[in-house]
Chains A and B, each alone.
Chain A
């Protein structure tokens, strides 16, 4: 069982918005602003999409945004495009030099 809880799947039509949640505890997600999100197309290297809850690395479209409320972080993908179809994983600093990840969410663009 993964330390952070994500829904197994999410979906949306092109142009729509979809939000993926990532629920932890006050010892990880709720305790630090160190939540990241990764996009993984099968067979390729995972890619960092969001770090420190809301920040986007250079080159990541602004259609991707992150937020956090209490022990739950969220990734929102706006203006869905076909190429957004992938697995998405969250991670959080868990204290005591420990990192925790979510189980992943498969995003389907209908």
Chain B
């Protein structure tokens, strides 16, 4: 069974940084594209970033380029999202997702940016 467990969310002040982690199990992590998608309170889903199986290809939503960095450690079956210069509008639930079609989702971790 595919399991994706996000962690690292919490309350952070504007301008601060946070690193999200996603622990994957139940599949061959190194064979899959991985993604981050977020959902702000009361809003729809927003694609954040995707990374290929061997990290050769990395893509970001245009609005986030330069502030967020996606990475993975295939030896640890883990996906990461480093978020810098956080703003109030980054407040959202962040989902870790396996697959090119966003096949399997974690339950998300809440990031709140507030002073």
Contacts and interface: CB of A to CB of B under 8 A. Distances in A.
Given A45-B106, A45-B107, A101 B101 contact: no
Interface string A34-50: 00101000011111100
Contacts of A66: none
Contacts of A64: none
Residue with the highest number of chain A CB atoms closer than 10 Å, among B4, B44, B106: B44
Interface of A: 2, 6, 36, 38, 43-48, 51-52, 57, 89, 91, 97-104
A24 B107 CA distance: 27
A43 B105 CA distance: 12
Interface of B: 4, 37, 43-47, 50, 57, 59, 61-62, 95, 99, 101-108
Given A2-B46, A98-B61, 15 more contacts: A2-B45, A6-B44, A36-B102, A43-B107, A45-B4, A46-B105, A48-B102, A51-B103, A98-B47, A98-B59, A99-B50, A100-B47, A101-B37, A103-B43, A104-B45
A57 B50 CA distance: 21
B10 to A, nearest CB: 19
B47 A38 contact: no
A45 B58 CA distance: 24
Contacts of B57: 97
B44 A52 contact: no
The 8 closest A-B pairs by CB, nearest first: A103-B44, A101-B45, A2-B44, A99-B47, A51-B101, A97-B59, A45-B105, A46-B105
Contacts of B50: 97, 99
Contacts of A91: 45, 47, 102
Nearest to A89: B45
A44 B105 CA distance: 9
B45 A47 contact: no
A59 to B, nearest CB: 12
A98 B62 contact: yes
